[in-house]
Amino acid sequence: MKKLLFTLILILLSSTAISEELSKSEKIGELAFQTVNFIDMMQTLEIVQHSNLYYETNPILGKHPQQHEVITYFMVRGAMHYHITKWLPKKFRPAWLTVTFLPQIPIIEHNHNLGIRIGW
């Protein structure tokens, strides 16, 4: 996890130097991703609180992550997504925003159908 965080921080630092501002539609796409990222995090925290009932399937976090690992992972993931979005050339941004947002919807729905709600 530490190596992953270090790598992600290096990418973040290098991406900010050559990035362009986001258009209005790109900001909406980024907000949509950040929203599903937040919901995913909250569902994962619910899994942490009820580890006797559920387990995490994200191989980076492992089956039974700690609360601080979940929060760190999703904060870094959100920041990385934003900076990658800004770093990408404008012509690739719509595809990036789509392919990173859409797969999250069925995952959130699947978790909800299992009984996993948004935890605190």
For 86-115, write each residue's pLDDT tens digit: 999 999 999 999 999 999 999 999 999 999
pLDDT, tens digit, 9 for 90 and up, residues 35-49: 999 999 999 999 999
Q: For the purposes of burial, counting CB atoms within 10 Å of the CB of 68, is it exposed (0-12), middle (13-18) or buried (19 or more)?
A: exposed
Q: How many domains does the chain have?
A: 1
Spatial distance between the Cα atoms of 52 and 115, rounded to a whole number of angstroms = 13
- Is 50 a domain residue? yes
- Is 120 a domain residue? no
Spatial distance between the Cα atoms of 16 and 52, rounded to a whole number of angstroms = 42
- Is 37 a domain residue? yes
- Is 16 a domain residue? no
Range of the domain at 55: 2-7+25-114
Q: What is the pTM of this model?
A: 0.84
- Is 71 a domain residue? yes
pLDDT at 119: 64
- Is 101 a domain residue? yes
Q: Which residues contact 109 (CB under 8 A, 6 or more apart)?
A: none
- Is 20 a domain residue? no
Spatial distance between the Cα atoms of 26 and 21, rounded to a whole number of angstroms = 9
- Is 42 a domain residue? yes
> pLDDT higher for 18 or 73?
73
DSSP code at position 57? -
